[in-house]
């Protein structure tokens, strides 16, 4: 169990009292989880009902585990998820104890009174920074306080950076959570300093230069970011965009800042600005990947990026590419990224066509090289060295630059090893700690590749080439991947030259000319050139074995299906074909096995790689407070931080203090002059600023006066005796006004606001509509992105159809978000549409093949078609959920109340499982498959358990569920491109 430090105890003393309510803000890495677990342990008892709200699934399980270690085992923390049935939930609530629950389920259960709200002893809310007037947390607190005034409420947050929105962000949170006390504990809090000490110099920083290419790419990316930023500023001069500098752009929250600045005018900014904002995110990601991905993966990512950027949705060349991609700097990025992987040398087409000879030749060379002992001595430049593998296509020389940090890690490990031996004599077996070396990386991916590197490392090689073996296997996978990319490109262009026939193709295959090796992606015209060139070659100096190969049909082992009949367009095919002829069997396995060929350690939770010396190296990725537990369990003496991480530095501090007498040595690896360092420092500063601001706000904050809970009786009485209601002739209706809301709608903020506006919210599972206001009025709510997507999928049509059948007054509610521009997004598109067809008739021809793009109907025209098709469907245009709540109240006045039981059964005849929880993500995905319509989706969901199960069914089985035609369509979509064996 992790020990509590002095300041932990102080905090606990302040907040443990179950009669007070408060918010605790703690700097990340100082052990928030310890405090929460300790609190839970204190409160744990069968007589109390403690709810933990807002924990992510990982946090839930980690807290549960830690509580188990601390001795709260029976029953410990129980987790309520969407899989938990209604009955089980009720049982759980009755039995009491510690329960972790998602906010959505808690809201629904409180509303349906399945949760005995008045019996709740207390609620712990994690991630309190999320509380806003429209958030589920605020709704929960409102519901809670309505029925229960004595229970406690403790809120926790370790993200001060996120408490920034609005004039007085802290106050908003306090008001929504109905709290009056806040404790703020930054790293510079006196108690924390007293415990942990002032200095942070306990970390040994190892700085290393990036390689030349990396430096170039790094500079180029930063340059692209600067260009994009200044472009953004130039196109939006009216805005206060001072915050937008490259340094801020390193952080993910930057996107939010930009969006917040632009939100109010989002409809006015052109698609160009939107693209610029997206580009910034892409560039930031690139910067991150540059430092953490290996050269090949980085290059592959770049290629994918280009592929998806140059082609539009309809599969045609895109008109408006991201501006940064066209700059010189971008060219540098692409060029150097490739050069880090391999170089291409031109080979004359008259080269010996027989690959076998080639290989023999190589072997001879290899033998020669080996004799001379040259193999390892020329790492920097491409060579026909001993390692040159047989599968490598001609003309490609692998460079395979490795990340400099890899060898640095190797060096650090070496040093640690020596240190261990040195300290061996001084340590007795009773000293704490183990000789495990802990390596922390920023992501699981990095830890995997590092693990791979360490296990395949050749420590005799000179620095920079230790991982050659691993890189080569990666290169091989990369070539295979690239051939797939090429196939895809060809599928997109079925009009490719087919007249060459199999003859030409065969020649090509047996004669892997590499003259057009080069860029993977070419513009159309260059492809044509290549095609023409290869044709000419066939006709002219055809190699002698061409005739022979014509007689041999492609053998079964060669997976050549997709490329048959199409002219080779770029090098990826050549590579693929070369590979196919070289080593049919081996390659086939890699095709069939898909990615499984790239085998990685199967269990990424525990990577143990054994190094020559008897020590264990444990590689983990940074995560949240779970790291603390891990540190406490592993008790490492040596820690290598592969990337700087503020939280983890603090965790190590806490770990050291918790284990007095343990000599911990920490290495921190940083690239010189990289964004890594800047990012780390900026992160420290940002956190400090945020804390200072919050402390200042707390000093000057006007304490929110908790509004009196409405007393229902008086309210409804006023409403019922109102003389406006037919002068009192109508019989007095004491029932409170209620709205029936679909369960799935509780992800949005509208139910919360409806409740706030004195409506009774009744959650049920509806088949038709989202909200039932009166027996006649049924509302389908669509946010703007929803509206667009459900128009595209055709769902809205079906929904309107259903509503029209079952209700007299079907309504489509189009709801904008608060503070976002109240307007349909597509004004600019309307204009361009008009222009394309009117003003520039000559362009029409060019547009003819891209007409899917140009005449893509706008949202407005679809709306028009909807109103024409369903003249009875009304549309409510609501600028925010607040406005919607008002409108709903309007519509409800003087109308009878809806009946929940009736509403449930409407349209649900064919669905036997009414009321069950639904995995919406899976349902959405299922709906997009061809052959599946809103009519049979329920049926499918009853037949198969998950999408994966559907994917594993055979064709007849799918057809049995869906019918012959749709079943075939669906099956073929799922198994697209699989050879029909």
Residue 159 binds another protein, judged by CB under 8 A: no
- Residues 416 to 435: which contact another protein by CB under 8 A? none
By CB under 8 A, what part of segment 594-613 binds another protein? 594-596, 598, 600-602, 604
Residue 760 is a binding residue for another protein (CB under 8 A)? no
Q: How far is the CB of 755 from another protein (least distance, A)?
A: 19
| Selected binder of another protein within 298, 334, 638, 642 (CB under 8 A) | 298
Residues 464-523 close enough to bind another protein by CB under 8 A = 481, 484-485, 488, 491-492
Alpha helix (H) residue ranges in 96-135: 103-111
Does 883 bind another protein (CB under 8 A)? Our answer is yes
Alpha carbons 164 and 243: distance in angstroms, whole number:
14
Tokens of 915: 């009321």
Choose, by CB under 8 A, the member of 188, 608, 840, 973 that binds another protein.
973
Please tell me whether residue 976 binds another protein under the rule CB under 8 A: yes
Q: Which of 167, 556, 702, 868 binds another protein (CB under 8 A)?
A: 868
Q: Does 293 bind another protein (CB under 8 A)?
A: yes
Asked if residue 887 binds another protein (CB under 8 A), the reply is: yes
Among the listed residues 3, 307, 347, 588, the single contact to another protein using CB under 8 A: 307
**Structure-block tokens of residue 121:** 């002893």
User: Applying CB under 8 A, which part among 225-233, 427-435, 504-512, 868-876 lies near another protein?
Assistant: 868-876
Instruction: Please count the residues of this chain forming the interface with another protein, following the rule CB under 8 A.
Output: 117
Choices 85-93, 153-161, 420-428, 738-746 (CB under 8 A): range interacting with another protein: 85-93
Helix H, strand E, coil C: the string for 232-291 is HHHHCCCCCCCCCCHHHHCCCHHHHHHHHHHHCCCCCCCHHHHHHHHHHHHHHHHHHHHH
Say which DSSP state 856 is in: P
Give the strand order in the sheet containing 809-815: 760-764, 738-742, 771-772, 777-783, 809-815, 874-878
- Give the start-end residues of each E strand in 785-884: 809-815, 874-878
| Residues from 440 through 459 that contact another protein (CB under 8 A) | 443-445, 448
CA angle, corner 204, sides to 199 and 208, nearest 5? 130
| Identified binder of another protein from the candidate list 871, 901, 909, 981, rule CB under 8 A | 871
Nearest residue to 139 via CA among 184, 102, 171, 166: 102
Among 46, 68, 71, 85, binds another protein (CB under 8 A): 85
Comparing CB distances to another protein, the nearer of 270 and 594 is: 594
Of the listed pieces 15-23, 310-318, 510-518, 723-731, which binds another protein according to CB under 8 A?
Answer: 310-318
User: Rounded to the nearest whole angstrom, what is the least distance from the CB of residue 318 to another protein in the complex?
Assistant: 11
Got the DSSP string for 48-59?
Answer: -EEEEES--HHH
Rounded CA gap, 312 and 320, in Å? 9
Closest separation in Å from C-beta 872 to another protein: 8
- Which 3 state secondary structure label does DSSP give 857? coil
Decide whether 394 or 923 has the Cβ nearer to another protein.
923
Residue 860 sits in the site that holds another protein (CB under 8 A): yes
In angstroms, rounded to a whole number, what is the distance separating the alpha carbons of residues 290 and 301?
A: 10
Q: Are 22 and 15 in contact (CB under 8 A)?
A: yes
| Residue carrying the six token digits 């503020």 | 646
Q: Which one of 69-77, 129-137, 706-714, 948-956 is the stretch in contact with another protein (CB under 8 A)?
A: 948-956
Q: 242: which DSSP letter?
A: T
Contact between 360 and another protein (CB under 8 A)? no
- Tell me how far, at minimum, the Cβ of 158 lies from another protein, in Å: 19
Torsion of CA 567, 571, 577, 578, to 10 degrees: 140
Tell me: does residue 193 bind another protein (CB under 8 A): no
H or E segment and range at residue 876: strand 874-878
Stretch that binds another protein, among 10-18, 289-297, 713-721, 748-756 (CB under 8 A): 289-297
Radius of gyration in angstroms for the set of CA atoms belonging to the chain, rounded to a whole number: 33
For residue 834, the minimal CB distance to another protein (Å) is: 6
Q: How far apart are CA 845 and CA 92, in angstroms?
A: 68
Burial code of 497-534, b = ≥16 C-beta within 10 A, e = fewer? Answer: beebeeebbbbbbbbbbbbbbbbbbbeeeebeebbeeb
As a whole number of angstroms, the distance between CA 223 and CA 246 comes to 9
Here the contacts of 731-735 (C-beta below 8 Å, separation 24 or greater) are 733/897, 735/897
The answer to whether residue 266 forms part of the interface with another protein (CB under 8 A) is no
Of 48, 178, 549, 919, the one binding another protein (CB under 8 A) is 919
Map tokens 């350690």 to a residue. Answer: 601
End-to-end Cα separation, the chain, in angstroms: 57
Among 305, 427, 678, 955, binds another protein (CB under 8 A): 305
Q: Among candidates 164, 170, 176, 102, which has minimal Cα distance to 132?
A: 176
By beta-carbon proximity to another protein, the closer residue of 553 and 977 is 977
Question: How far is the C-alpha of 941 from the C-alpha of 922, rounded, in Å?
Answer: 10
Task: Please report whether residue 869 would count as binding another protein according to CB under 8 A.
Answer: yes
Name the H helices within 721-794: 750-756, 784-793
At residue 140, φ and ψ (nearest 5 deg) are -60, -45
- The verdict on 946 binding another protein (CB under 8 A) reads yes
| Least Å from the CB of residue 523 to another protein | 18
User: In this structure, what token pair is assigned to residue 590?
Assistant: 């890699």
Give the interface segment with another protein, choosing from 160-168, 350-358, 589-597, 839-847 (CB under 8 A).
589-597
Sole binder of another protein in the list 788, 876, 908, 955 (CB under 8 A): 876
Rounded-to-integer distance, Cα 274 and Cα 271, Å: 5
Dihedral angle sign, alpha carbons of residues 959, 961, 965, 966: negative
User: What track of x and - describes contact with another protein for positions 53 through 82 (by CB under 8 A)?
Assistant: -----------------------------x
Nearer residue to another protein within complex by CB, 151 or 917? 917
**Contact with another protein (CB under 8 A) among 197, 271, 315, 956:** 315
Cα–Cα distance, 785 to 710 (Å, whole number): 36
Please pick, from the candidates 827, 840, 843, 960, the single residue that binds another protein as defined by CB under 8 A: 827
Q: How far is the CB of 279 from another protein (least distance, A)?
A: 12
Answer for which of 462, 857, 896, 956 binds another protein (CB under 8 A) is 857
952, 960, 965, 979: residue in contact with another protein (rule CB under 8 A): 952
Choices 228-236, 676-684, 755-763, 862-870; region in contact with another protein by CB under 8 A: 862-870
Q: Is 913 in the site for another protein (CB under 8 A)?
A: yes
The token pair that represents 451 in the structure block: 């693990």
Residue 365 engages another protein in binding (rule: CB under 8 A): no
Helix (H) or strand (E) holding 897: none
945 forms part of the interface with another protein (CB under 8 A) = yes
900, 933, 955, 963: which one contacts another protein (CB under 8 A)? 933
- 422 or 980: whose CB is closer to another protein? 980
831 binds another protein (CB under 8 A): yes
Closest CA to 176 of 184, 186, 187, 165: 165
977 binds another protein (CB under 8 A): yes
Please answer whether residues 346 and 359 qualify as being in contact, where contact means their C-beta atoms are separated by less than 8 angstroms.
no
951 sits near another protein (criterion: CB under 8 A): yes
Stretch that binds another protein, among 183-191, 367-375, 697-705, 928-936 (CB under 8 A): 928-936
Residues 770 to 799: which contact another protein by CB under 8 A? 789, 791-798
Q: Is 720 in the site for another protein (CB under 8 A)?
A: no
For residues 309 and 772, give the distance between their C-alpha atoms in angstroms, rounded to a whole number. Answer: 44
- Asked if 822 touches another protein (CB under 8 A), the answer is yes
319 binds another protein (CB under 8 A): no
């Amino acid at each position: 169990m992790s020990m509590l430090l002095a300041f932990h105890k102080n905090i606990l003393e302040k907040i443990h009292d179950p009669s007070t309510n408060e918010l605790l803000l703690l700097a990340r890495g100082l052990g928030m989880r310890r405090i929460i677990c300790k609190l839970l342990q204190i409160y744990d008892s069968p007589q109390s009902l403690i709810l933990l709200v807002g924990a992510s699934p990982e946090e839930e399980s980690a807290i549960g585990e830690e509580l188990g270690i601390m001795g709260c085992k029976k029953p410990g923390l129980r987790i309520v998820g969407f899989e938990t049935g209604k009955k089980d939930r009720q049982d759980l609530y009755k039995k009491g104890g510690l329960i972790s629950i998602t906010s959505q389920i808690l809201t629904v259960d409180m509303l349906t009174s399945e949760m005995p709200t008045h019996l709740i002893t207390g609620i712990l809310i994690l991630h309190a920074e999320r509380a806003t007037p429209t958030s589920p947390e605020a709704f929960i607190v409102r519901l809670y306080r309505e029925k229960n005034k004595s229970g406690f409420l403790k809120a926790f947050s370790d993200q001060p950076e996120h408490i920034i929105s609005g004039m007085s962000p802290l106050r908003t949170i306090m008001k929504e959570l109905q709290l009056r006390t806040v404790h703020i504990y930054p790293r510079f809090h006196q108690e924390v300093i007293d415990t942990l000490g002032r200095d942070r110099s306990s970390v040994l920083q190892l700085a290393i230069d990036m390689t030349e290419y990396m430096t170039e790419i790094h500079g180029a990316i930063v340059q692209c970011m600067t260009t994009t930023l200044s472009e953004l500023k130039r196109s939006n001069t009216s805005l206060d965009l001072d915050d937008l500098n490259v340094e801020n752009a390193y952080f993910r929250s930057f996107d939010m800042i930009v969006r917040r600045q632009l939100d109010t005018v989002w409809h006015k900014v052109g698609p160009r600005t939107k693209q610029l904002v997206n580009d910034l995110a892409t560039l930031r990601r690139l910067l991150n990947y540059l430092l953490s991905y290996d050269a090949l993966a980085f290059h592959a990512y770049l290629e994918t990026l280009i592929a998806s950027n140059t082609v539009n949705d309809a599969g045609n060349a895109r008109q408006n590419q991201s501006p940064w991609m066209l700059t010189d700097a971008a060219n540098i990025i692409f060029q150097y990224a490739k050069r880090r992987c391999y170089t291409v040398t031109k080979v004359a087409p008259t080269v010996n066509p027989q690959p076998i000879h080639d290989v023999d030749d190589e072997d001879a060379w290899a033998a020669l090289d080996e004799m001379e002992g040259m193999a390892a001595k020329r790492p920097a430049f491409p060579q026909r060295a001993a390692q040159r593998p047989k599968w490598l296509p001609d003309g490609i020389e692998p460079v395979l630059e490795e990340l400099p940090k890899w060898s640095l890690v190797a060096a650090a490990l070496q040093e640690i090893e020596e240190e261990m031996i040195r300290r061996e004599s001084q340590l007795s077996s009773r000293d704490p700690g183990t000789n495990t070396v802990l390596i922390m990386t920023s992501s699981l991916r990095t830890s995997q590749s590092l693990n791979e590197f360490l296990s395949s490392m050749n420590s005799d090689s000179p620095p920079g080439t230790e991982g050659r073996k691993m890189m080569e296997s990666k290169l091989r996978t990369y070539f295979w991947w690239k051939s797939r990319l090429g196939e895809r490109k060809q599928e997109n262009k079925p009009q490719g030259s087919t007249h060459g026939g199999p003859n030409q193709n065969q020649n090509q295959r047996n004669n892997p000319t590499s003259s057009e090796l080069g860029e993977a992606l070419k513009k159309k015209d260059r492809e044509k050139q290549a095609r023409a060139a290869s044709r000419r070659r066939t006709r002219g100096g055809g190699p002698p074995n061409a005739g022979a190969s014509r007689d041999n049909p492609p053998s079964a082992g060669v997976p050549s299906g997709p490329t048959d009949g199409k002219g080779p367009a770029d090098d990826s095919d050549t590579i693929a074909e070369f590979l196919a002829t070289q080593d049919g069997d081996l390659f086939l396995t890699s095709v069939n096995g898909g990615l499984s060929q790239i085998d990685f350690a199967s269990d990424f939770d525990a990577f143990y790689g054994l190094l020559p010396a008897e020590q264990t190296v444990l590689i983990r990725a940074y995560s949240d407070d779970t790291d603390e537990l891990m540190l406490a369990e592993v008790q490492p003496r040596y820690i290598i931080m592969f990337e700087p991480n503020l939280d983890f530095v603090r965790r190590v501090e806490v770990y050291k203090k918790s284990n007095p007498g343990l000599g911990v040595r920490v290495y921190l690896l940083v690239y010189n002059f990289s964004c890594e360092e800047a990012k780390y420092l900026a992160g420290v500063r940002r956190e400090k600023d945020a804390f200072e601001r919050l402390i200042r706000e707390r000093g000057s904050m006007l304490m929110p006066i908790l509004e009196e809970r409405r007393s229902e009786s008086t309210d409804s009485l006023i409403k019922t005796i109102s003389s406006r209601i037919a002068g009192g002739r109508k019989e007095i209706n004491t029932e409170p006004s209620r709205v029936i809301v679909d369960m799935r709608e509780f992800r949005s903020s509208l139910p919360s606001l409806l409740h706030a506006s004195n409506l009774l919210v009744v959650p049920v599972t509806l088949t038709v509509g989202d909200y039932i206001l009166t027996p006649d009025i049924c509302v389908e709510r669509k946010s703007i992105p929803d509206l667009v997507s459900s128009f595209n999928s055709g769902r809205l049509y079906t929904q309107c159809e259903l509503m029209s059948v079952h209700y007299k007054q079907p309504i489509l509610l189009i709801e904008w978000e608060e503070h976002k521009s109240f307007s349909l997004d597509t004004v600019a598109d309307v204009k361009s549409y008009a222009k394309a067809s009117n003003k520039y008739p000559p362009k029409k021809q060019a547009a003819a093949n891209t007409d899917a793009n140009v005449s893509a109907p706008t949202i407005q025209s679809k709306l028009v078609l909807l109103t024409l098709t369903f003249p009875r469907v009304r549309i409510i245009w609501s600028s925010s959920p607040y406005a919607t709540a008002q409108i709903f109240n309007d519509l409800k006045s003087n109308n009878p109340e809806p009946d929940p039981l009736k509403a449930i059964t409407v349209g649900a005849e064919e669905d036997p499982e009414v009321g069950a929880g639904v995995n919406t993500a899976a349902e959405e995905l299922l709906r997009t498959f061809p052959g599946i319509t809103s009519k049979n989706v329920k049926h499918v969901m009853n037949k198969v358990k998950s999408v994966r199960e559907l994917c594993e069914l055979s064709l007849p089985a799918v057809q049995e569920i869906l019918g012959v035609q749709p079943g075939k369509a669906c099956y073929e979509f799922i198994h697209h491109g699989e050879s029909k064996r």
